C-alpha cells in the first residue's frame, strides 16, 4: 500500500500548489489527442493508451489487446512526460478512472512510484469544481526516469488456468454482467467468461454520483467476496487488462493488498482455445 491514498478529490486541486503536482490527461475518445489539444485541465500532460501504456501485438492471442510495454519503455514515456520518481502525479480520464487513468496508476505503482493518484470523478469532477482548463500542447522539461522492473504481481494465462480450478484461488472478472454472461461482446471475438471466475463489475466500485464508494464500504465488499483467499491467490481481469486496474485501485483505496493482474484477460483467453462458459 502506498503512503498516500490512491484517490485524489477534485477540491484538492485548489488546496495544493499546482506547481507541486503533475497532472496527466488519460482520457479516451476517437480523437484523443485532438480533444486534448482543444481542451484539458490546465497544465495537464497527455498520455495515450495504445502508444504509451501498451505494446499492441500483431495478434491479440499473444498477450491480449493491450499487453504491458516493457518497464524500460514505460520509463522512457515517463521521461518524455517530464516525470521524476519524487514527483506527485495525479492522473485523470473521463470515465471515473475506469478507462485509462487506473491503468496508468497501476503501472506507476508497479515501477515503485509512490506519489501517484487518480482524480476522483475524473475530468468532469474537476470542471464542476471550477478548475481551469487550457488548450494547445503543454511544454515542459524532459527528465530521465530510471528503468525499473514490474514490482506488482502479474498472472499469465497458465496461472489463471490453474487458479480457476482451485478453491484456494479466486479469479475476478470486472466486466459488465452481460459480457460476463455471454449475452453480448462488443470488443472480442467470442462472448462468455473464464469458467470458475466470479463477476464483480467495476461499476460497483462507484456510488450514484460516479465517485468511488468509501474505503470502508469497498473493504467490506471485497473482504466478503475474497474471504479466506490469500492476496497472492487473487487474480483480477477484464477485457484487455485496462479496466481491471480500476478494481485494483479500489482495493488499494480500501487498504487491502493489491491482487494479481491478468493483463491478457478475456481478449487473450478467448483467442487461445481455452474453455469458455456462458449463462446459456
Cα four-point dihedral sign 95, 85, 3, 172: positive
How confident is the model at residue 171, as a pLDDT? Answer: 98
Chunk the chain into consecutive blocks of 10 residues (it has 280) and report each block's average pLDDT, rounded to whole numbers.
84 75 88 91 93 95 97 97 96 85 97 96 93 89 94 98 97 97 94 97 95 97 95 97 97 97 98 92
d(CA 241, CA 119): 20
Give me the catalytic one of 90, 238, 244, 261.
Answer: 238
Structural domains of the chain ordered from first start: 7-134 (3.40.250.10), 157-269 (3.40.250.10)
Q: What is the DSSP letter of 171?
A: E
d(CA 173, CA 262): 10
User: What's the pTM value of the predicted model, to 2 decimals?
Assistant: 0.96
d(CA 162, CA 160): 5
Three cell numbers written together for 68: 504491458
Number of residues that make up the chain: 280
DSSP string, 88-139: EEEEE-SSTTTTTHHHHHHHHHHTT--SEEEETTHHHHHHHTT--EE-S---
Active site residue 238: yes
Amino acid at each position: 500500500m502506498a503512503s498516500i491514498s490512491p484517490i485524489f478529490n477534485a477540491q484538492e486541486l485548489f488546496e495544493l500548489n499546482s506547481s507541486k503536482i503533475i497532472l496527466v490527461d488519460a482520457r479516451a475518445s476517437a480523437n484523443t489527442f485532438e480533444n486534448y489539444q482543444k481542451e484539458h485541465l490546465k497544465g495537464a500532460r497527455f498520455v495515450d493508451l495504445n502508444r504509451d501504456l501498451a505494446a499492441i501485438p500483431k495478434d491479440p492471442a499473444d498477450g491480449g489487446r493491450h499487453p504491458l510495454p516493457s518497464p524500460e519503455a514505460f520509463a522512457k514515456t515517463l521521461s518524455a512526460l517530464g516525470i521524476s520518481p519524487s514527483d506527485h502525479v495525479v492522473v485523470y480520464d473521463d470515465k471515473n478512472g475506469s478507462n485509462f487513468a487506473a491503468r496508468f496508476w497501476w503501472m506507476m505503482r508497479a515501477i515503485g512510484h509512490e506519489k501517484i493518484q487518480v482524480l476522483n470523478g475524473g475530468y468532469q469532477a474537476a470542471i464542476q469544481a471550477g478548475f481551469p482548463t487550457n488548450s494547445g500542447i503543454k511544454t515542459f522539461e524532459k527528465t530521465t526516469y530510471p528503468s525499473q522492473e514490474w514490482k506488482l504481481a502479474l498472472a499469465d494465462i497458465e496461472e489463471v488456468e490453474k487458479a480457476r480450478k482451485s478453491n484456494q484461488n479466486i479469479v475476478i472478472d470486472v466486466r459488465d454482467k452481460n459480457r460476463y454472461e455471454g449475452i453480448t461482446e462488443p470488443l472480442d471475438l467470442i462472448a462468455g467468461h473464464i469458467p470458475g471466475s466470479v463477476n464483480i463489475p467495476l461499476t460497483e466500485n462507484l456510488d450514484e454520483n460516479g465517485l468511488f464508494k468509501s474505503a470502508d464500504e469497498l473493504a467490506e465488499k471485497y473482504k466478503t467476496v475474497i474471504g479466506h483467499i490469500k492476496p497472492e491467490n487473487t487474480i483480477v481481469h477484464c477485457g484487455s487488462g485496462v479496466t481491471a486496474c480500476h478494481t485494483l485501485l479500489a482495493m488499494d483505496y480500501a487498504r487491502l493488498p493489491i491482487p494479481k493482474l491478468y493483463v491478457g484477460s478475456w481478449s487473450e483467453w478467448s483467442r487461445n482455445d481455452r474453455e469458455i462458459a456462458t449463462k446459456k
